[in-house]
Amino acid sequence: MVFHIVGARPQFIKLAPVLKAFSSAGIASRVIHTGQHYDFTMNELLFKDLGLPYPDFHLGIGSGSHAIQTAGMLKGVEDVLINEKPELVIVYGDTNSTLAGALAASKLNIKLGHVEAGLRSFDKKMPEEVNRIIADRISDYHFCPTENAVKLLKNEGIKGIFTGDVMVDALNMFSGKLNEAVYEKPYILATVHRAENTDNPCRFKAIWQAMKKLAEGMQVIFPAHPRTKNIYGDLMNEPGRIAVIEPVGYTAMLSLTKNAHCILTDSGGLVKEAFVLKTPCVTVRSTTEWPETIDAGANMLVGADDDKIISAVEKMSSASFNPDAMPFGDGSAAKKIARYVKNELNL
């Protein structure tokens, strides 16, 4: 039996093709949902959109400081693993759910696999960077989305397995459901949710100011993460051409991405989806774990300076890049992971 531990939107997306591949390979799976994302639009809506079964275990942890949230998850996950005794635990990405799941499995001497292993932003101020480093250190199997991730792990004395990125698998699974633009073109699609931006009012307000200036030329569509909206709701109620909308389902978000003039984001997942869908992107962060998108000319890293953001959007709007040189694999990552697990553990 394999247990998959997830808790946040990007992990649900990664889980969908992996569960399908494991089922096809005859590998029994169960899912623990930590409850890290507990808002309906970030949780049940996405499960329905992805066709995922309801989790076998829902811990309902919710929000809190990193310590409180991770501690709650660690206890809840440990209780389940002690009772169920799986042969393998798989964690995804770099959230607190990843960290808690990895620690619980490791302490119980259960084999541990990390999907999206080997990513590095080299910025330990990011909680995600700390989570992914620890998960990689204690994992037994490291499923890497890029060759660069394999190289980075090798530099740390860890053997990575290049599978490609399961998010490409997910995009291919649901590409037939993409719709034409709901909003009149051209528009900019923007998302801001990372702590480095939302916990720093100066950074967020600089990004928002850039969005307001950009909205003078074309509409800006901003699906607001519940946490971001809770902090900056008053700012978002100001009049202007920024359309603040509720978070949307996976396929709707892909449709918005595909039809956008440009993407403005701090989301690593959206950066990759924009790349695959051939939409130029500007990243409002100081570092990135996806340098491949920058090397391909598909993405610019600008931080939280409003003038630089505006200049980058203008530049990227007319940029040309070659997404055919795909660094994220051929869309068979989940099958490769399932095949490896079946052979390695004789499941």
Question: Is it true that the peptide bond before 127 is cis, omega within 30 degrees of 0?
Answer: no
User: Does residue 54 contact residue 155 with C-beta atoms inside 8 Å?
Assistant: no
Q: What do you get for the CA distance between the two ends of the chain, in Å?
A: 8
Number of H helices, E strands in the chain: 15, 13
Instruction: Using the structure block, give the residue that is written with the tokens 């990664």.
Output: 14
Q: Which of 33, 193, 225, 261 is catalytic?
A: 193
Catalytic annotation present for 114: no
Q: How far apart are CA 238 and CA 18, in angstroms?
A: 42
Distances (CA, A) of 151 to 125, 142, 154, 169, 256: 23, 12, 5, 22, 34
Provide the token pair at 161: 């397995």
Q: Cα torsion at 206, 207, 212, 217 (round to 10°)?
A: 120
User: Does residue 82 contact residue 74 with C-beta atoms inside 8 Å?
Assistant: no
Containing 204, the helix (H) or strand (E) segment is helix 201-214
User: Does residue 239 contact residue 232 with C-beta atoms inside 8 Å?
Assistant: no
Residue 93 CB partners (closer than 8 Å, separation 6+): 8, 10, 11, 14, 115, 116, 128, 132
Which of 77, 78, 82 has the alpha carbon at shortest distance from 60?
A: 77
SS3 47: helix
Write out the DSSP string of 155-196: HTT---EE---HHHHHHHHHGGG--S-SSPSSEEEEE---HH
Which of 286, 283, 251, 271 has the alpha carbon at shortest distance from 327?
A: 271
Catalytic positions are 193
